[in-house]
Every structure is written in C-alpha cells, then in structure tokens.
Chain A
Amino acid sequence: MTHTENFPTELTGDDIPMVRFQKVRKSYGALTVLDDLDLDVAAGEMVSIIGPSGSGKTTVLRMLMTLETINDGVIYIDGKPLTHMPRAGKLVPANQRHLRMRRADIGMCFQHFNLFPHMTALENCMEGPVQVLEIPKAEARDRSEELLELVGMIEKKDQHPSRLSGGQQQRVAIARALAMRPKVMLFDEVTSALDPEVIGEVTNVIRKLVSEHKLTMLMVTHQMGFARDISDRVCFFYGGKIEEQGRPAELFGNPQKERTQQFLSAVREAV
C-alpha cells in the first residue's frame, strides 16, 4: 500500500507532464489488472500502448477517462490530480464535482464507436458543446461542421449512425470527441471492430491529428505498423506492468526483453 494522501497536491517544476500515473494499482477482487503503474506522457506526445489481451492496456485508458476507479496511487492531468482532490493540503479521493471539472481535459474514442443512435452525425458532435460546454448552438454547429470536414464526414452530417459504415461512425466519433476541445485524446482500439478495407480511413484521420494538432494522445492498438509510424513512444504492457518502452524504431527494431520479442514475433507471424 502506498499512502496517496501524502502524494503532491499539484505537480511543480519546469517539465510538468500532461498525464502522470503515479503508483497506480487496479484490481478486480483478487485479480490485479495493473500493478504499481508509473507512466508520464508529455504535452503533445503520442504514446501507443501495445501488448497481449489481458495485459491491462485498455484499463489504462479507462482509468484516465474515469470509467474505472483506481485502487491505489494517483493520476494527474496537466499537473493537477484527477482521481483525487486536495483537502487541507492532503489528497483525498475525488468527488463527482471534482471529476467533472478535471475530466473536461480528456476525450475518448471507443472500439465500438458508441455514437448516440438517436442523433445525426452533426447532432452527435454538437451534443457535448451545447449541453455540457453551453456554447451557443450556431457556434457549436460551425465548429462541429469544421470537425466533420476534418474527418471527411461533412457530406453525411445529417445521417444517423445506423446509416453509416463502421469506419464512418468511428470518424464521426473522433469529431465528437474533438468538439469538446480536450487536451488529451484517448483512442481505445479504434480500428479493432472495423473491416480491414476501412481501417485506413480512420488511421489517416489520426495521422492528420498527429501532424496538424498539438494534442496529447494515448492509443491502445493492435496495428503495429501504424503505432510504429506515428508514435513518439511505444509502451509494451505485459501482466499489468510496462514490460518495455521506447521510441518505436528501438522497440520494434531491437526489443530488449524476451516477452517483447515473443509478442512481436507472434504478431508478425499472424500477419
């Protein structure tokens, strides 16, 4: 057990990471999914998370989006605690109000898109800005249309999700998340539910985001080639820990750990 109340209530210094996991533990009953995780992501950095299923990689994103609670440790966003809040100089578990305040910096795209089926593509994108950010409708519409343009979905803006293909739905979902102007974007296996021929349309949108926007991104993926191309850093998860991490060329080209080598050669054989 660590004592989270003694963790810093705010990160200070020159190099404050956009995201910091500090001694984070997550378990479901007796099963420990993530153990003592330390991970920093710098502002503007693109980090890919790879690893076998059950290694805890999706849990990392879900904890950051506050879809899962954590059992120990603290997660910081932009130098301020997310999972905890300061009270009398010490950290205590966050209440709903604090979570809502800090969560505004984070956006997420899901494996199964999770678009709202009763709204059109445009309405999906406008929903957050209008309802949550309370931006005037006309302004939200302009901004959403710009984003749908960016992801190449402007022609389909008045379609409901049921009329769109998986790749199209995922691109709308990316626009919807971006409409909230997050500082950190999370991509959770966003191509895993797609047919092979449409994966490219989604990965191209993410490439564009990486090259044109200064967003901090965390991506869980099975697309090794894609992770190698666009990441600043790749983390290989195994058994609830970061087994190895490094620049993509190093990790893919010259993995040091045996488990990394095994995983990468198994993935190559499958292709």
Chain B
Amino acid sequence: MFDWKWDFVWEIAPRLIGATGNTLVAAGAGYAIAVVLGLILALAQRTPYRVLTFVVRELVEFVRSTPLILQIFFIFYVGPQFGIRLSPWMSGMIAIGLHYACYLSEVYRGGIEAVPTGQWEAATALNMTTAQRYRRVIIPQAIPPALAGMGNYLVGIFKDTPMLSVIGVAELIHTANAIGSENYRFLEPYTMVGIIFLAISLPAAGLIRLFEGYVRRKLGL
C-alpha cells in the first residue's frame, strides 16, 4: 500500500502555502490585465477603422489558436533577441494576461452584441457621443450576461498558472516539483497541490454565481 507521511505534510505545508500566494497573485494580476485588455480588444473590433479592426481580429484569432505555453516561451526566450528582457514573473503575467484577454474579448463581444438595437437608438435619440453610449448604456448591459463567461475564465486562468513553472515562476507546481526532487517524495506535495486547487476553484465558482446575481439585482435587470 502507499506510504503517506503526515510529518512530511506538516513540514512542507508552509512552503506550499507561500507558493499558493504566488499562484493567486499570478492569477489575479493576469486576470486584471485580461479583463481590461480584453475590453479594449473587443471595442477595437467595433471601430470604423478597417485596418485596426482587421489587425485586432487576426491577433485574437492567432492567440486563441496557439498554445499558451508557446506564448510564454516566446515572450521569455525569444523576447530578448528583440531587446525585450523581462523577468519570469513579468513574462508570465504578460503572456497569461494577453492570452486570456483574447478569450475575454470574445465574451465581451457576445455581451455587447446581445444588447438590443433599441438601446443604441435611444442613446442616439438622446444625442450621446459614441463614448457615452458605450460607457453609460451599452457596457453596463453587456457585462451581466458576460459574467458567467468571465467567471469561467477566472477559474481557467488560475488552473493555467502552473504553465508559468516552465520559466521558473515559483507557483504551486514549481514548488511541489522542487520539494519532490529535494526529498525524493512526490506523493504528498502533488496531492496537496491538487487539494489546494480544488479548495480554491470550487468555492470560487460558487462565489462567481452569487456575484452575478448581485450585479443583476444591483442594475435592476
């Protein structure tokens, strides 16, 4: 049978908890980038400037059609050849932020397109500028239906942070690997990482649903 050592669990727990902090920071910062950049990408595709729309559209398609890990490697290892030298953390945040921004831009696009035409017309009848239409009328209505998708990607980004271990970001997997090779024991660290991911992902999904309901009520929808 297998040989589970509680002593070892308590011994490595502080290091894994520290790494959990790093994982959360990575996911949070990456998500913050994705939320803002995603909206910018979605809006850029709705401008009347054909070239801009085309370039952004292709960028989104390109990023969504290539693996995240390749993008991480590219920014970290190929970047320096173009004079862009970034720390593993910085590269990781940019890669994961850009990657998820492209997915989120599609979520926003869906939300914006779901706002009825009548709302645009009412905003025009009130003589609003394009910026006012988006800021005051369209985006507040586009966000609630997008929240479910946005929440899924928050959990998704959290589960994708282990990819950053390949460039040496000390998140959970990276730390578990280190512990394993130092002690020749992998059972406990990997099991604990799995439990930590579960313990965060599951309640997060529930909280997102609650938040969605709260926003809808708050906006009177």
Contact = CB atoms under 8 A, between A and B. Distances in A.
A132 B127 contact: yes
Contact of A132 (B128, B220, B221): B128
A226 interface: no
B140 interface: yes
A19 B198 CA distance: 66
Interface string B101-140: 0000000000000001011011011111100100011001
B132 A132 contact: yes
A110 B118 CA distance: 8
B141 interface: yes
Given A116-B137, A117-B220, A127-B136, A110 B121 contact: yes
Interface in A156-172: 160-163
A5 B13 CA distance: 80
A67 B117 CA distance: 11
Contacts of A174: none
Given A120-B220, A127-B136, A160-B220, A115 B122 contact: yes
Interface string A207-220: 00000000000000
B119 A114 contact: yes
A180 B126 contact: yes
Nearest to B132: A131
Given A127-B136, A131-B136, A132-B132, A118 B219 contact: yes
Contact of A116 (B122, B124, B127, B129): B122
Is the contact region of chain B dominated by helix, strand, or loop, or is it mixed? helix
Contacts of B221: 117-118, 160, 162
A104 B129 CA distance: 12
Contacts of B129: 100, 132
A73 interface: no
Nearest to A108: B125
Given A112-B118, A117-B220, A162-B221, A65 B125 contact: yes
Nearest to B121: A67
Q: Of A65, A107, A114, A120, which is in contact with the most chain B CB atoms at under 10 Å from its CB?
A: A114
A162 B220 contact: yes
Contact of A110 (B122, B140, B219, B220): B122
Interface centre among A103, A104, A118 (most CB of B within 10 A): A118
Residue of A110, A119, A131, A162 with most partner-chain B CB within 10 A: A131
A259 to B, nearest CB: 30
A177 B125 CA distance: 8
Nearest to B140: A118
Interface in A110-158: 110, 112, 114-120, 127-128, 131-132
Given A67-B121, A67-B125, A114-B122, 10 more contacts: A110-B118, A114-B116, A114-B119, A118-B140, A120-B220, A128-B127, A131-B136, A160-B221, A162-B221, A177-B125
6 contacts: A67-B125, A107-B125, A114-B118, A118-B220, A131-B128, A180-B127
